[in-house]
Structures are given as C-alpha cells and as structure tokens.
Structure 1
C-alpha cells in the first residue's frame, strides 16, 4: 500500500493442558510456552508497532504467591524488548544453577511468567495517546482469584458513550472514556456478579469460605458472563480474556468483522488473529486450524475442557475484506489466492484502457504488499495472450510464414520492477517543504527500461486511501522514466467511507475518493447536495442508532465509479507531470468474487454491519463540514 494506514491489532493465546514438566521432557525446555508465545507474536508483528504486551497466569498456586505476571513495552521493537525482559529472569539461573532450569516445579514457584496460560497482544493505536497505559493486556485486580481479569483485544466499539452511561448506572466510575476500559469494566462487573451469586448459593449450603472459593473456581459460567457483558456492544471485536483462576475465553463479534483462529489438541489450545501464525509456530496443517464463529466464544476452563459457545446471536457474516486485501499476511493460502484473483479480475479493464497494445505496455507494481495482486494481473495477461495466439493460429494456420509465427509466439507481457522502496530512508527533516522533497525519494526507480514517450506504464497498488504518496513520490518517479502514459491500478475499490471497527480511517477528509466527489459537486454547481447531506446528518444525531441511515451515500450518488476515478487521477497527478495519468479501481462486484467469504465492504460501499456504523459515518461528515479534525466515535 502506498499510503500506510494503521490497522487491526493482533492477539496471541496459549493454554498448556499438560503439567509444565511434560513440555520440558518432550520439547527439551521448561520455557516451551514462552517460546511459542514469542513466535506467535513475531509472526504477527505486522499487526502492531505502537506497542505490545504479555500476561501469564499460573494454575493452582498457593495463597500468598504471585500468579499473575504482566509486562508491556513501547520500544521500537516491542516484542523483542518484552521477551528480552523475560529472558533476563533466567540468565542468572542458567549461569549459576543450570540444574534448576530443568526443575519446572521450582521455576513455577519462583520465577514470574512461567505459567500454563499465556496471552500476547500487538497494538496499533488507531486513535488516542501512545503511552504504556494504552498497551494491552489490561488488568483488573482483586484479592479473590476468580475476580481478577486480564483482557487484550483487537476491537473498536462505536457506542462508547452509551457503554459508559451503562457503567455509571451500575454505580461504577471508570477512570477514562475509552472502549478498552469500558469493555474491561463491563466484563469485570458481571464477573463480580457471577462470583457473588455463586458465593451466596454455596454459603446457603453451609460450605466454608475456603471450600466456596474452590467451588466458584470450578463453576464460573464464563458463557453467561460474556452474554450479559456483550448484550449492548456495537463494534468489531476479537477479545481474549483470562480470569485469575485460569478460565479463559476468546470472543468474536456477531458479524465476524475481526478475525480469530484457533487450534486444540490434548497438549495445547492456541488462538491468534492470523491462521499462518498458528501454522508456523506449532507446525499445524491448514485444515486443522479452525475459525471462531461469529457471536461465539472459545472457552477454555481451568480443568482444560474446551467449548465454542454462542454469547450473541450471529448476524450476517461480514468479515473485513481489508484483511484479505492488505492487512493479514499473504502467507495464508486462502488470502494468497484471493489477492491473485483480485489482480486477475482487473485485466479486462486494463487491456481495454491500453487498447490491447501488449507490445508497448510495461506491467509493474508498487512495493511491497501489491506484489501478489501483481502476479495475478500478469497471469491474466498471459491468459489473454494465450487465447489470442490460439485464435490467431486457428484462423490463420495456413497463411503464417516462419517470421509471422515467431512473432506471434514471442508475444509476452513486459514485466518489470520499476519502483523500489528504500526502507532505510527516513523523512527526518521537520520543515514541510523539505519533508515533501524527502518523501518524493522514499522510492527509487529502475531507469532505462521504459521507451521514452512510447510505452504505457501500468502499476498496481493494493489500495489507494489518501493518494498522498502517489502524488508526492510515486508518480513523480514514474514520470522521470518518460512513459507516454501512467495507469495506476487499485486492487481494492474506492475507499469512500470511514472505518469504525479498528482501522485508522475515521476522517472523511482523508479519502481521495471523497475529495474527488466533493470537487465534482462543486465544479458542476451541485453544492446544495453537500448542504442537504449536512442537514440530514445533523438531524440524525439525536436519533437512536438503530434508526439512522448513511446519508453520506448521497455525496457519491450523482457520479459513476469512472467519473470519480478520473477526478482522482487529476488530484494525484503532480504539476509538471508530462505523462498522462489514469486510475483504475476494482469494482465491488469483483471484490466479492475474489473474496467470497469476507464480504465486509463498508469502507467501499457504506453498508455498515452494525447500527453504530451509520451513526459514525454521519458524524464524520458533520466533523468534516464543520472543520473538526477528530474521530467520530
């Protein structure tokens, strides 16, 4: 992606089902769980570079001994920093009393982070301050083991105000207005309720307080706690939680917006935001990794029993398609195929635009995430050429001489890597003019490949959000190669609406497609459409979110996709560009063909999977119209 945007966080969860001694004997180390947690997090480091954190819980620890450990970091390489901190706890032991590294019972009783339940989190801060207090996991502490709660998640709630008001009504006083705090306190409240109900029940049965503590630990109804907690949540979420006694859960929103995968056998239960992380860390076959179903929670009890339990009625499954286009790693077999398919589906429109002139067209991509879509595009061009050759041979087989036949069979797409990202370049100069000049050099180019003012250059990007890097860097660099025409191709449709479920795309003014539509309205004397949408959005503010519709769709309604694409091309073309610039976008229909099981497309279509989405998009438009530069939820 040429415009880097922050996005969904990542989770990692491990529950060791055997005694720690089992893993030392079988795998040769008492640190098996920690090593695997490190791998799970490193294999998802693309999901968070604003910070990271881990938490572990030891099972069946005697009273008075520490059983919960947590550490968070905001270092530039937070995952490595965390595990270096943990590793240092074993250095003296390894150097001075190495035999104790084999004594799992001693390690569990004397060294923090050695436990049976492990959680990790990678943070991409979509909004708010970047401080250690914003890093997950979050911890709610209590002297009662079964009232302690640790959570970490990949989520955004659209109705934080409503959730906060509910906490006030319960008599709580949250320390800040943030969805992480409200979620923690909401689950914590009903965890307390469950504890109290069980305590009262067992007290009436005449049990001692010590016996009651054990009975509560055995009989906590995690599913019931989650059902009561999540009843009014509106958002996209995968939330991992651990209760102090060792009960654990990973819950997924009813529309399946955020991803969650798991694997379980008789040794381990593991979960993560991405399937390949599980496959790599634990050498698991693709077919054995399961997806947590929307509206369900994977619940792992302290006794090791595992169940997938519904906590809210699932809605239509609208999993985030941006996960497939860009965010998740392409090492997932399904995602790899889908990205190739996205590229292939653009071929007909590309060939039409270049007038099927293969000889004078060079195909390339914008590094690095568009590479797989590029492969699909090239495959599609090869298929077109094969079909063309076959047709020509069948129709002219008796008329072709050797020279004509050689020329026909030599026809092939010209494929080159023309843009090279210089990952070491840093735009450290503070003055805006100098910074823009530095941005223009973030990419290098390969000279001498394009024939001056003859060739058309087709470059595929996975998506175009703001268009800033295209304008300030990429198109300038490509124009220096002196092509006749530059065609920028987006494997994703036009991004027209804000996301409110975890992606850093919440302000209307950020989107080049929105800027293009506004420009077209003004150029054509249709400014009244802008005012009408503003009035409708303002009128909807006091409505219940369930009654609100997305009025911002009216901004785009007068124009075709091609008209907006043409206006975007004008916006992203720098002054003094010699080559003609054109932009081609994927259609919504083709997106769904390529990604049939991930139909969440609200940032393209404006069709939000929860009522809160419509409230957010209207508020985002109001903020834009009133010049308020802040998120809409």
Structure 2
C-alpha cells in the first residue's frame, strides 16, 4: 500500500507535493520521493523514512518546476531495505518518463521475463513498479514509432498496458515536456481521484484528503480502466481504455487503510465506518446482551467511528480507555513474543478508571495476527475490568491479500483455519464478535449503488481479477519483503496508522 500524488500547475510545486505527501503519510512510512519537472528536465529526491525526515530545505530547493509527482511507500513486494526501490522511478526512453504506483502486479515475474526477452528492456530492481514503468515505456514507443506524442498516442499506449498487466495499479506518470498521465486498473482496486486548484492547476492523488488539504477541489475519481492525460497548459483529456471494466474497490480501504476524512469512489470513509458500527451492533446484541456491557472502548485509532456508532446503537457510554503514543517508532530487529508485548504497551496505555470494575466491550477495526488483541485484552484485565468482550468491525481475516496490502502469510492469520471460538480462546476475551462479510458489503455498498462489488478477498477468498491461483498466492507470499516489522505486530497490519 502506498500513497501517490501528481500535479500540473503554473507555479512551483515542490512545497505542494510535500504537503500532499504529508496528508498521505498514513499510506506508507517506509520511504518517500518527489520528482519535479522544469522544461524537459526532471529533478528527483527520494530516500527511506518519513516525509518530514526525507526532505530538508536543501532538498526542496533542488526541486524546481511547475509540475511533478511524489509517493510515500509501504513495501509489499521487492526489497524493503533498498533505497533504490523507493519511488518515483525514471526511464530515459522514450521521451523520459517518471512514474509512481500504488498496488501490486500479480504477473510481475512473467512481465519481467517478457521485457527482457522480447522488449529488450532492462529491469534493475525487484520492484514491480519498475516493471510497470518499462511496460508503459515500451507501449509508448510502439504507439509513436518515432512520431510526435499526443493524447491519442498516450491512450493507445495505456490500452497496451492494460492488455499486458494484471493485478492492482493506480498510476501517475510524467512524460518529459508532454504532460501528466494517470490511470487505474480495470477493477479500480486501489483508489485514485483528481481535482483542480487555482490558476488551472490539476492534481491527482490516492485520496481526496490530499486534494482538499492543498487547496484543490475534488472533481471525480479516475474510473477503472480509464486514463487521464493532462497537458502542460492544464488541459485534461480522458479516455476509457478498457471496454469491460467494472468498479470493485478494495473494501479494506474503508475498513482501515484510508483516512476517515477522505471520499473514495463516492463513499465517505467516515460514513462507511459509522455504518460498520451499526451492523456490528446487531451482531453484538445477539451475542452479549447490552445489560452485560458497561462501556464501549475503541482501540485507537481507525475503529473510533465504528465504536462510537455501536455504543449509540446499544445505548451504552462510549469512552476513550486507551491513549496512543504517536511518537513510538518501530521496534527494529528484536524478535520474540516479549518484544511484541513490549511494543504494544509502549504504543498504548490504559486509563484504569475506565476499566475498573466494569464489563468492557473493546472495538477494533480488524483482527489480523491476534497477538495485539491478546495483549490489549490482558491490559484491560490488568486495568481492573471484570469482563472483556472484543468486537471487530471487520470479518475474520482468513486469506492473504495479493493486491497491495502487506497482509501476513496465511499461517500467521489468527482466523485462518480456526473457528471464532478458537480465536476467542487465543486472544483471551470473554466473548468475540466479528462483522459479517455480507453485512459489511451491504453497509458500505449502499452508499454508492454504482459500485458493482468489492474486492474483499482477505475476508472471503474471492479475488476479483479472477486469475489468482494457489500457486500465485504462494509465489506472491514468498516475494513479501522481509523487514524488521515482520518481528512486531501492530494492531491491524504491519504499519502504524496515523489516520486520526
């Protein structure tokens, strides 16, 4: 999972891109990069780390120009330790292209071999984004064959990319001196929207919060299978390049990944989480009578809307029982269960007065490994809770994700191959209530009837692209980046959420 942004303006964009990346920081904390364009020359700076650490004054001064793009990265494939795999990526032919990508190519290995043997292009890293860049470069070369490049040629090239590439991809690219290109996979798995600012500026970004927070008015989402080409003067050209595209966005964006103040594919993320709280409330009362619950407490941070709505529905007080320390970083190269427990307790601290002598219902957005849930349940008991119930706004996570979320392997998923009762015993709760898969889809889907369905593969095992086999899953799991974060379990996935 990553956050991407691109802009065409009539004023310098280095500060604008920096501000947009700060607003997308929750989508990736591993690395950050910006490319700007002045004339036909690109200027790039990228490195591992958070946006505020990667870019200093001297770096910003070295990024001139009125157009550019940027990315915050959380690695799901390739080498997480390699600074060379931080984005953007650049290739000099044809024309000169820079690219940022959010998603995961499921046929990257086949494409890599094809690029080498047939297209005669060199791939220098293990990143599937570099593969995607070179496929786009080859298709642009084929579409122009030495002729001038205009919108028609760009759309022809993107159609060629769609024919070859499989998986999830939201892409923003700049073609030197020609303009900005944005496109989205035929299922719209990963989000991408664009809007306009003062003076005719055009920005594309993973989430609307990046547009609004930088003074741009969101116009619409890039449709699945659609390409948008923005010329240097701000003129927008759009073309549907896939005839049978259908919108099936990743439902985990609404459950956890996106900021609550974003709107993705016409759906308010905040409202989606409120709706999840409503449907979860119905599941709770069928398992634990409300008169046995004294207080509802969220696990910070993205479960708060669901928890507050659940509390309202069952008529119980909503309280903040845990305080999150925003300044604790990752625990590096310290394996073992004791370290995981220490990490959780450094990040969360219980307010004893909210637990003492009470039956508490803890609400989390999801339960993945279960390690953190077990530790939080124990913290609640140590703070004086009589009984501790746990509710998850998401269904059991039973299957790996192959579309750009760094989900643990199947064996690490606590719900994989286990009943709800077995998971309850593992985490030590007095009761465990999960969201229902179909109820989750209805709760979010009715907010935009135009959505054909969702990719909910980590919950139901149905991969929307229809081409994922057990062999593909095994291969993609082997390609998961081995990083120190694998030795630590944060509340949901493997990244700390800063989407307050």
Normalization by structure 1: what TM-score? Answer: 0.69
C-alpha separation between the residues in 1 aligned to 2:59 and 2:152?
Answer: 31
Q: How far is 1:329 from its partner? A: 0.5
C-alpha separation between the residues in 2 aligned to 1:425 and 1:174?
Answer: 37
Q: Which residue number corresponds to residue 120 of structure 1?
A: 70
C-alpha separation between the residues in 2 aligned to 1:433 and 1:194?
Answer: 55
Q: Deviations over 1:513-543 (max 9, x none)?
A: 1152xxxxxxxxxxxxxxxxxxxxxxxxxxx
C-alpha separation between the residues in 1 aligned to 2:413 and 2:169?
Answer: 24
Is the partner of 2:203 in helix, strand or coil? strand
Q: Which residue number corresponds to residue 243 of structure 1?
A: 175
Is the partner of 2:301 in helix, strand or coil? coil
Q: Which residue number corresponds to residue 570 of structure 1?
A: 425
Q: Which residue number corresponds to residue 46 of structure 1?
A: 26
C-alpha separation between the residues in 2 aligned to 1:475 and 1:133?
Answer: 41
- Alignment RMSD: 2.5
Q: How far is 1:609 from its partner? A: 1.1
8 Å CA contact 1:488–1:582 kept in 2: the answer is yes
Is the partner of 2:212 in helix, strand or coil? helix
- Structure ranking higher in helix proportion: 1
Q: Which residue number corresponds to residue 447 of structure 1?
A: 352
Q: Which residue number corresponds to residue 212 of structure 2?
A: 279
8 Å CA contact 2:208–2:262 kept in 1: the answer is yes
8 Å CA contact 1:292–1:308 kept in 2: the answer is no
Alignment of 1:86 with 2:59, yes or no, is yes
Q: Which residue number corresponds to residue 498 of structure 1?
A: 400
Q: How far is 1:304 from its partner? A: 3.5
Q: Deviations over 1:276-313 (max 9, x none)?
A: 220121153xxx43100000011113454212212223
C-alpha separation between the residues in 1 aligned to 2:322 and 2:212?
Answer: 32
Alignment of 1:292-331 (within 5 A): 292-331=222-261
Q: Which residue number corresponds to residue 336 of structure 2?
A: 432
- Structure ranking higher in strand proportion: 2
8 Å CA contact 2:283–2:435 kept in 1: the answer is no
Is the partner of 1:441 in helix, strand or coil? helix
Is the partner of 1:221 in helix, strand or coil? helix
Q: 1:366 aligns with which of 293, 299, 318?
A: 299
Q: How far is 1:477 from its partner? A: 0.5
Q: 1:264 aligns with which of 174, 196, 202?
A: 196
Is the partner of 1:514 in helix, strand or coil? coil
Structure with bigger gyration radius: 1
Normalization by structure 2: what TM-score? Answer: 0.86
Q: Which residue number corresponds to residue 149 of structure 1?
A: 97
Runs of 4+ in 1 over 6 A off after TM superposition: none
C-alpha separation between the residues in 2 aligned to 1:71 and 1:429?
Answer: 27
8 Å CA contact 1:608–1:614 kept in 2: the answer is no
Q: Which moved more, 1:426-435 or 1:295-304?
A: 426-435
C-alpha separation between the residues in 2 aligned to 1:242 and 1:431?
Answer: 42
Is the partner of 1:231 in helix, strand or coil? helix
C-alpha separation between the residues in 2 aligned to 1:159 and 1:122?
Answer: 23
Q: Which runs of 5+ in 2 are unaligned?
A: 446-450, 482-500
C-alpha separation between the residues in 1 aligned to 2:408 and 2:420?
Answer: 21
Q: How far is 1:121 from its partner? A: 0.8
Q: 1:116 to 1:449 in 2, by over 3 A?
A: closer
Q: 1:172 to 1:465 in 2, by over 3 A?
A: same
Q: Which residue number corresponds to residue 433 of structure 2?
A: 584
Q: Deviations over 1:20-77 (max 9, x none)?
A: 4xxxxxxxxxx4x222212211111111111111111223x6xxxxx21111121x33
Alignment of 1:135-534 (within 5 A): 135-142=86-93, 147-167=95-115, 168-198=117-147, 216-217=148-149, 221-264=153-196, 267-282=200-215, 284=217, 288-332=218-262, 334-357=268-291, 360-382=293-315, 413-425=316-328, 427=331, 430=334, 432=336, 434-439=338-343, 441-442=345-346, 443-450=348-355, 452=357, 455-471=358-374, 473-505=375-407, 507-516=409-418
Q: 1:300 to 1:9 in 2, by over 3 A?
A: same
Q: 1:492 to 1:219 in 2, by over 3 A?
A: closer
8 Å CA contact 2:36–2:63 kept in 1: the answer is yes
8 Å CA contact 1:57–1:246 kept in 2: the answer is no
Q: Which residue number corresponds to residue 528 of structure 1?
A: none
Q: 1:217 to 1:475 in 2, by over 3 A?
A: same
Q: Which runs of 5+ in 1 are unaligned?
A: 1-7, 21-30, 62-66, 90-111, 199-215, 383-412, 517-563, 574-579, 624-628
C-alpha separation between the residues in 1 aligned to 2:166 and 2:192?
Answer: 18
8 Å CA contact 2:225–2:241 kept in 1: the answer is yes
Q: Which residue number corresponds to residue 469 of structure 2?
A: 614
Q: Which residue number corresponds to residue 600 of structure 1?
A: 455
C-alpha separation between the residues in 1 aligned to 2:15 and 2:244?
Answer: 35
Is the partner of 1:570 in helix, strand or coil? helix
C-alpha separation between the residues in 2 aligned to 1:70 and 1:618?
Answer: 35
